[in-house]
Structure 1
Amino acid sequence: MKNEAETTAFHLHLLSKIMNMEAYPFTKLIIECDITEQEYNELIRLLDYLDEQFKRQTEEGLLDFSSLLIHFAGMLHEKLELHQTIFALKEEGYYPSLMNAFLAIIEHIKD
């Protein structure tokens, strides 16, 4: 079983060299941080939930989405860094409105 896992890892490493991984920063991050399929699925479920909350809150006229960012930060897997994950998600086109809101909050905090 160990040889099979090592072979798969080697093949993925070779594939990552021939693909333009810079065009897929979120996928690259998932691979580099050794996120498992279960951890990935949990992250996508979290993002789906937060995106639905964001849409609902937007429809209600709310303008401050800090609570969603805090929720995301608190639930994000420890293998992933918050800012890097948000930037990678945005760059790859995942949850664009939500990621734009998160980035706006982050930029506002910096100022």
Structure 2
Amino acid sequence: MVENIRYNDSTSFHLHLLSKVVDMDKYPLIKLIIDTGLSKDECNELLKLLHSLNIQYETQKEEGFLDYTSLLLHFVGMLNEKLEPAKTIYALKKEGYYPSLIREFVILIEKYD
């Protein structure tokens, strides 16, 4: 049964219906993107940022770096204002984006939490 909710357009209504059918706990990043209203361009910026940071992470790792705090700070500083850093990092981890980089971010945020 459809709840009595007002929708701006049919797309938001369809998204609402899909969110009822799909187990959104399996897709926390997608849920976060939908809930925050992140645009396609903003989502692409996030993915480009992650790709760039992952390249830097791999380079630093090869050079023997052991502390990746600067990468986390860069991520937080460049993250879209609609997104919460820790929530975004945990969502990325659950969906398997850049596992080594995100694992380091999780270690750091849990260390400083």
TM range (shorter): over 0.9
User: In the alignment, which of 60, 63, 68 is matched to residue 65 of structure 1?
Assistant: 68
User: In the alignment, which of 47, 50, 54 is matched to residue 47 of structure 1?
Assistant: 50
Report the Cα offset of residue 68 of structure 1.
0.3
State the secondary structure of the residue aligned to 2:37.
coil
Structure 2 letter corresponding to 1:75 = M
Structure 1 letter corresponding to 2:31 = K
Report the Cα offset of residue 61 of structure 1.
0.6
Which consecutive aligned stretches of 4+ in structure 1 deviate over 4 angstroms post-superposition?
none
Report the Cα offset of residue 109 of structure 1.
1.5
Aligned to 1:90: 93
Instruction: Answer yes or no: is 1:105 the counterpart of 2:97.
Output: no
Deviations 1:21-59 (A, max 9, x none): 110011111111100000000000000000010011001
5+ residue gaps, structure 1, are: none
State the secondary structure of the residue aligned to 2:9.
helix
5+ residue gaps, structure 2, are: 1-7
Question: Identity of counterpart residues, as a percentage?
Answer: 54
How many residues align? The count is: 106
Q: CA RMSD in A?
A: 0.9
Aligned to 1:21: 24
